[in-house]
Amino acid sequence: MIEVRGLSHRFGAREVLSDLSFSLEKGGFAFLTGPSGSGKTTLLRLLHGSLPLQAGRAVVAGHDLAALRPARLYQLRRDVSVVFQDFKILPDRSVVDNVALPLTVRGTPRARIDRRVHQVLTALRLSDLANRPCSELAGGEQQRVAIARAVVAGPRLMLADEPTGNLDWELSLRLLDILRQFSAHGTAILMATHNHALVAAAPDALVISLGGGEQDPGRMDVADAAGPDAATEAAP
């Protein structure tokens, strides 16, 4: 689902990513860790096509990013969804409208949209808020709406940038469980986080550590993942 080899990226004279290599298979679950400024968000933006490749190779959901023309980025983004730190929801629209948006723009039949949105809202405990404008929601509720919108179309890969940052511990664990359920059904998940307790709650997940970030003994770090046979352990 993701194959990265020798990926490097600079902003001016500052090298943010250096010779990064790792693999994530279909249904794989991986944490992306490291201190602020280590390149986590930069890597996610590269994998989503929001930044151009400067050096190295990356194949994401079958799309070779080096060969992908800007006019074809929509093809990548149909297969790859993102949960951003700042949510990027539409505050004047209802929860239902926000979550249904990816299906609506694809021309999905209304009956299927209603069914799928209902399933996702139920899973994320948002059903009681379905018709409320997102501007009236608390931060944690808005985050769950953003996650619901990201998964509603059944992406092949989800990139999540600190998705539990505004959630309490109980909701963080529930979100982790939900993401692992999607992973078990074939959606690969790459989740950036600073929360080491959350990483410890999924001991079988792959951990990719950037910029000297700490990780548990025995976990795979960037140096380990650079080998030619590197691959994820898919979450059960």
Write out pLDDT tens, residues 150-173.
Answer: 989 989 999 999 888 777 888 789
Residue 227 pLDDT > 60: no
pLDDT score, position 222: 38
178-221, pLDDT tens digit by residue? 889 889 989 999 999 989 999 999 999 999 999 743 333 233 33
Query: Are the C-beta atoms of residues 158 and 150 closer than 8 Å to each other?
Result: yes
Among residues 204, 164, 222, the alpha carbon closest in space to that of 32 is found at 222
Residue 236 lies in a domain: no
* 44 inside domain: yes
Q: What is the pLDDT of residue 231?
A: 29
Count of domains for the chain: 1
> Residue 150 belongs to a domain with what CATH number?
3.40.50.300
> Considering the domain boundaries, does residue 230 fall inside one?
no
Do the domain assignments include residue 197? yes
| Residues of the domain holding 89 | 2-225
pLDDT tens, residue by residue, 24-75: 999 999 999 998 889 999 999 999 999 999 999 999 999 999 999 988 998 9
Strands 14-24 and 2-11, by their bridges, are antiparallel
Q: Indicate whether 26 belongs to any domain.
A: yes
Residue 108, domain member (yes or no): yes
77 belongs to a structural domain:
yes
CA distance linking residue 222 with residue 94, whole number of Å: 41
Q: Report d(CA 26, CA 61) in Å as an integer.
A: 9
In a domain, 231, yes or no: no
CA gap 165, 145 in Å, rounded: 14
